[in-house]
Structure 1
Amino acid sequence: MTSERGAVEFRAVRKNYGGFTAVPHLDLKIAPGQLVTLLGPSGCGKTTTLRMLAGLETPSAGAILIGGQDVTRLPANRRDVTMVFQSYALFPHMSVIDNIAYGLESGGMKPAASRLAAGQGLELVGLSGLGDRLPSELSGGQQQRVAVARALVLEPQVLLLDEPLSNLDARLRRRVRTEIRELQQRLGFTAVYVTHDQDEALAVSDRIVVMKDGRIAQDGTPRELYEAPASEFIADFIGEANVVDCEVLGLAEDQALVVVGGARLTLPSRGIRPGPARLAVRPNAFRVEPGNGEEGDGGLEGRVASAAYQGDRIEYEIDGPAGRLFVIDGRSSVPLGVGSPVRLQFRGGGVALIA
């Protein structure tokens, strides 16, 4: 095994479909052992990118490398990758153990050895003892784990996951995504994960690559993308964000002095020059305090437009000079009434200047 095993690289990759360009230009490197999520709205190019890596689509230009080898023109069965599909793609007439062993036997492994390896795969995903069942006798979450086991027993350099949890209900999605992440970290394999679900991406990823119109809009850790979005698109797509007008008064090295409403903040400048600018403010970046309806130092004045009790939090819409803001208060259990004056204080995180 070389240090490059599991490394992935896209070099100036382009994909055209007739006169339509799905991916104009893609440069991307994935280190061995990372779980990288391709995230974006429908039509952003993430699935096309995954299919090019799998060998199911051929780039119109550029090169794709896996483990340091140029695989751009290699067929899918010679790329040393396996894919887990959202539909599971299990053979309904075969037992679970036979489903897992199928790929091994197709590759030339003897039946006894393949069934032993398949049993080890079931143990990996916590389904020991269920090998004789048919897929229809398993829950959706169990079927997805069988699909993961079938992919892993082939010992690929890279595991590809295409919307793997989209057929599961919300509670089951949370559990299975945790299991996939724990398995990936324990075994240390490289994984490329495609989803349109922001919460899913934040939960499982070492890195998130957000795509828009076939290009990389931002690439970073989940925390970087959430706390320091590069644009209004990222701020709105990764979680929710309020976009607020502000003024950059001055710069000191890489810090900016920013005034918004009655508050002054010092934030990373991120290349923004003095003058009018915009802030992305997360809903939980505010502390909600009763106000008197008058402007004052240190916050934004407003009035409650709506209040929704959500058990562990209260969700507000606040109207004020900055426009209508969506605010989450996790401290109080009793909502303020509609029309109540409030002052929104900045808590110190979840605020970033954006281009």
Structure 2
Amino acid sequence: MTIVKPGSVVFENVRKSFGSFTAIPDLSLTIEPGTLVTLLGPSGCGKTTTLRMLAGLEHPTSGRILIGGKDVTMLPANARDVSMVFQSYALFPHMTALDNVAYGLESSGLSRRQARAKADDGLKLVGLAGMGERLPAELSGGQQQRVAVARALVLEPQVLLLDEPLSNLDARLRRKVRTDIRELQQRLGFTAVYVTHDQDEALAVSDRIIVMKDGEISQSGTPRQLYEAPASPFIADFMGEANVVACEVVATEGEQTIVRVGGLEHRLQGRNAKPGAAKLAIRPGAITLDADNGTGIKGRVLHSAYLGDHIEYEVETDVGPLFIVDHAVDRGFSPDADVTLGLKNRGVALITA
């Protein structure tokens, strides 16, 4: 089985309204061929509406959508050369895995023999060789998900759409299946648009992440860019937990910026930051914790919780309460202990927006 040349995706000033409510005010984005791009955001941010418009299940109120350079704005779903993997898998329970995968091929005009041969190749592609005669109820959740992916891929779409594809799986199985999907996408080189609200999932599978809020793009970039250089407090807190605190930009020296937070001056990567008030996003694991001595941010432990390979602390400080993850489990600080906090080089980002 081969995948047709992967297609690009372009949204040009797309607006989508439902009556008096505007879900997508003005969306413009481009997805390069052969990349896996994730639409990420909280419930109600517009990511699923965006995917449904791309799939042809909804039509824009205004603007254009192009797939592979072709205007598909008002085309029906079956004329768009896309395939969709649904959150619920949508497998026919009375059909075998092989028949489920072959169904779309037969509907498109292939003979039963041709469709089943191609479906068998599709099952082999996703690691389910020899399981074609099993019913969905005889497969695990992860295997059912792979059947759904195979059913979409055998149609050889320009773009594969995945709508919360792992939400019905337990945590351990989600890790396994997301790895499978990413490996398959990289090996075959198809374009994929992936919708999820799970930050870890987005970080693990994506070439690029588009974080949405209120129907608009808050920030777009690689997983590393969004995690290490969030453009706003919303992004910092949404892309993995972060303590967002007030700070002062003291000066810039070459590639570094010096900031003051509490009683601590800290250097971090970044240039062209203007002196004055700003915000600092600090990951819980980027804070060091020591007995109350020396210079740093002074604090008092409010709560502590031992979780095996790390201890979680909530510490009251002059810059506000901070959540801290400390892997030094051989020592611990009890509630009401006075402590001094420092910052590591990684996991601290300046937010000037």
For the superposition of Structure 1 and Structure 2, which TM-score range results when normalised by the shorter chain? over 0.9
Aligned residues: 351
Measure the CA separation in 2 of the matches of 1:332 and 1:289: 13
How far residue 270 of structure 1 moved from its aligned partner, in angstroms, is 7.0
Partner letter of residue 337 of structure 1?
A: S
Partner of 1:244: 245
Distance 1:331 1:188, change over 3 A: farther
SS of 2:321 mapped into structure 1: strand
Please tell me the residue identity of whatever aligns with 1:235: A
Would the aligned equivalents of 1:312 and 1:333 in 2 still touch at CA under 8 Å?
no
Q: Contact conserved, 1:36 with 1:207, CA < 8 A, in 2?
A: yes
Q: Verify the 8 A CA contact 1:11 1:26 in the aligned structure 2.
A: yes
- Report deviation, 1:263: 2.2
Counterpart Cα distance in 1 of 2:76 and 2:113:
29
The percent of aligned pairs where both chains have the same amino acid is: 67
One-letter code aligned to 1:148: V
Q: CA deviation at 1:257?
A: 2.2
Query: Counterpart amino acid of 1:80?
Result: D
Question: Are the aligned partners of 1:313 and 1:333 in contact in 2 as well (CA < 8 Å)?
Answer: no
Name which of 320, 325, 332 aligns with 1:335: 332
1:92-111 paired onto structure 2 within 5 Å? 92-111=93-112
TM-score under structure 1 length normalisation: 0.95
Equivalent position amino acid for 2:161 in 1: L
| 1:183 alignment counterpart | 184
**Match for residue 284 of structure 1?**
285
Query: Hey, what does 1:78 align to over in structure 2?
Result: 79
- TM-score of the superposition, structure 2-length normalised? 0.95
Question: What is the CA–CA distance in structure 2 between the aligned matches of 1:163 and 1:271, rounded to whole Å?
Answer: 39
CA contact (8 A) 1:14 1:26 kept: yes
C-alpha RMSD of the superposition: 1.8
Q: Is the 8 A contact 2:268 2:345 kept in 1?
A: no
Are the counterparts in 1 of residues 64 and 71 from structure 2 also a CA contact under 8 Å?
yes
Question: Deviation at 1:265?
Answer: 2.3
Indicate conservation of the 8 Å contact 2:36/2:207, yes or no: yes
- How many angstroms does 1:332 deviate by? 2.8
1:300 maps to: 297
Q: Say whether the 8 Å CA contact 1:4–1:67 is kept in structure 2.
A: no
SS at match of 1:266: strand
Q: Does the 8 Å CA contact 2:252/2:272 hold for their aligned counterparts? A: no
1:59 aligns with 2:57: no
Assess if the C-alpha contact under 8 Å between 1:104 and 1:114 holds in 2: yes
**Which residue in the other structure is 2:155 paired with?**
154
Gaps of 5+ in 1: none
In the TM superposition, 1:209-288 aligns within 5 A as 209-252=210-253, 255-268=256-269, 272-288=273-289
Partner Cα separation in structure 1 for residue 261 and residue 105 of structure 2: 62
Would the aligned equivalents of 1:270 and 1:353 in 2 still touch at CA under 8 Å? no
Q: What code does the residue aligned with 2:118 have?
A: A
